[in-house]
Structure 1
Amino acid sequence: MLAGKGIRAVAVMWAMTFISFILVPLRLYTRVYIIEALGVDDHVFNLAWVFLLLYTIFITIAGVHGFGQPISTLPIDSAVQAVYNEMIGQTFAVIGMAIAKLSLGLFLLRIVVKQWHRLSIWVSMVSLSIVSVMTAIIFWTQRVPSKSIYDPRVPGRSIINVTPFSILLGSWCAAVDFYFALLPWIFIWNLNMKFKEKMSIAISLSLGFIACVCGIIRTIDLGGLSSTNYTEDTVDLVIWSGVEMAVTLICVGIPTVRPLYRVIVHGSSVKSSDSRYIKQDDSSHSSRFRMQNPTKRSTMFSVAQESITEAYIARNNQSDEEILMGQYGNNIGGIRVREEG
């Protein structure tokens, strides 16, 4: 049964899972009924939450068998089950954290325009995915046979140390969080919008700084992976991994439910008046783009760049937040982007 530090760990895990779940239906409702632009990033977001739920479930099972207690005080069978289920949970955490970052990256792809922004986001997502999958594989193959990792009664030999790869993953997650939180300030600051709106949108898209801090703390606690008292010394690592996943989901979810907040609190409509703003660019070439949603009548979003000016025009009252949140993102949610000659 649950005892020792396991009670705190399981309580925190379920609290984080529940809090982050609140944004799942709110986000779906906003995407489907408010802005009518359900995209791939929404499905990835939901998948990331499922991985957090599975992580929490297996940590709870591990807690029942003795996770959070000194391993020397546990019967051998309980200790084996505790470590085994904790390892399964940590595998979901390793992959789930990458999926959560993918959701944020796909979300940012909806709203960025410049090619180097898009390329840097893809590089971040692909590299993080590779490191996550590689770490998960090494986690289960660090010893041969794999059962000897969690069962001391099974003879085996070590072939690779997983700790450096775990540190690499933790550091890379923190770096990606930092970059994804910094990027909105780069492209939003050039928009000709009210300062208050710039700050509001940029801050809402930059909550990933909090996830970055959680990732750094989690990386510091990775030493518990090589401890002989595995069931107790990995408690902080498990907690901060769950907190990082939940905070990432919360940081991704908050900007996407802003239109719902505006409708409920301010009574605003997503279909009323026109809006227009100009984005300044230091490029000198001239190009014109048109983004059109074929599923919604008379909805058009045009981007025109003449010399150093890009004009964003949205009909049917797309607010600053809604446009930046990618209702008319590039090739997402049925939106087509084509360049006019």
Structure 2
Amino acid sequence: MAPPAEGSTSEPFEDYSPVLNFVIWVLTGYATIFISLRLWGKHHRGRRLWWDDYLLIASWVALFLGCIFQTVDTGLGFGRSQHSVPVENIEIARLLSTIAGFFLILAAAWSKTSFGLTLLRLTQTDGLLKKLVWFAIWTTNICITGSCIIQWAHCWPLDRVWRQEVPGGKCLPLDLMNGYNMFVAAYSGTIDVMLALLPCKIFWPLMMKRKEKIGITIAMGTGIFAGIASFMKILAIHNVNRPRAGPEHVVVLMALGTAEGAITIVAVCMPVLRTLLMQDSSHLLKSSLLNHIP
């Protein structure tokens, strides 16, 4: 993901890097708190980690690395007006933004996969719903893997991805890349919404208290916000590739990419944390009642 095209020195100076750093680290911090509580809750209850936990940890690592590369990139001029960036920093800034975007894509893919696996494990669902969740997991990973490949392989030789002045070589048509990335954003957002709504279908027929059904549906339904972030990326991808795109458009795209992975991580953690809180509350209530028995 390259910085905007060069402008003239008469352009006004714009610096959105502080905003980007604030947003991405708040989102990552939020995800860090929730995944830490999830892992602590598993340890507290003596539960072993499963594949969804390992994928969630990998997703958080990718998210964290993506934020680190973005922050380093802002120190080189990413998020500022092109004419204010030192010429010697432009190529390395493009490379770092590409690496950051790559890790954010991985964070989104792995967190969605973890969400699907958590849903399968919590519900023990069979039949059509189980096939639907597996379909969502596989197709999402296939589509996002395509984005990862395009991220690096859309130009040849490879270094032309970040060194646009390299003579010779070829790149995929920009319209083709943009079209595919918009499709992936739309499909990914659709899968987020579908996975967030599936608990309504799965839990409501079960013999559970009404408030428990509402609670777990809302907890897992937070994944809808990841879908919203993914849908917003469609417009952001369009804006960042316009001829006169500004630094604010690139910053918005990177922030939305960070938000998509971070929100999904939080959504995956919510059901486990809710179960832990309910068990602890029940234990405290029983202890309080026992203390008042003569």
Q: Which structure dedicates a bigger proportion of its chain to strand?
A: 1
Deviations 1:94-133 (A, max 9, x none): 1210101001000011114222111111111111111111
2:257 corresponds to which letter in structure 1? Answer: S
> Which residue matches 1:205?
220
> Which residue matches 2:11?
none
> Pairwise mapping of residues 110-129 of structure 1 onto structure 2 (< 5 A)?
110=121, 111-129=123-141
Correspondent of 1:246 among 233, 244, 262? 262
Q: CA deviation at 1:59?
A: 0.5
Asked if residue 159 in structure 1 is aligned to residue 203 in structure 2, the reply is no
> Which residue matches 1:287?
none
Correspondent of 1:141 among 149, 153, 158? 153
> Which residue matches 2:76?
65
Q: Distance in 2 between matches of 1:5 and 1:68?
A: 5
> Which residue matches 1:259?
275
Q: Distance in 1 between matches of 2:84 and 2:243?
A: 13
Number of residue pairs the alignment of both structures matches? 268
Which deviates the most, 59-68 or 107-116? 107-116
**Contact persistence 2:240–2:246 (CA under 8 A):** no
Q: Normalising by the residue count of structure 2, what TM-score does the alignment of the two structures yield? A: 0.85
- Higher relative contact order, structure no. (Cα contacts within 8 Å, ≥ 6 residues apart): 2
Q: CA deviation at 1:227?
A: 4.4
Q: Normalising by the residue count of structure 1, what TM-score does the alignment of the two structures yield? A: 0.74
Aligned sequence identity (%):
25
Q: Distance in 2 between matches of 1:175 and 1:205?
A: 15
1:139 corresponds to which letter in structure 2? Answer: Q
Q: Distance in 2 between matches of 1:154 and 1:229?
A: 22
Q: CA deviation at 1:252?
A: 1.1
Structure 2, unaligned runs of 5 or more: 1-13, 286-294
Larger gyration radius, structure 1 or structure 2 = 1
Q: Distance in 2 between matches of 1:197 and 1:148?
A: 54
Matched position secondary structure for 1:46? helix
After superposition, the Cα gap between the structure-2 partners of 1:83 and 1:228, relative to the gap in structure 1 and judged at 3 Å, is farther
After superposition, the Cα gap between the structure-2 partners of 1:195 and 1:262, relative to the gap in structure 1 and judged at 3 Å, is closer
Q: Distance in 2 between matches of 1:84 and 1:216?
A: 26
**Contact persistence 1:72–1:229 (CA under 8 A):** no
Q: CA deviation at 1:268?
A: 5.3
Q: Which structure dedicates a bigger proportion of its chain to helix?
A: 2
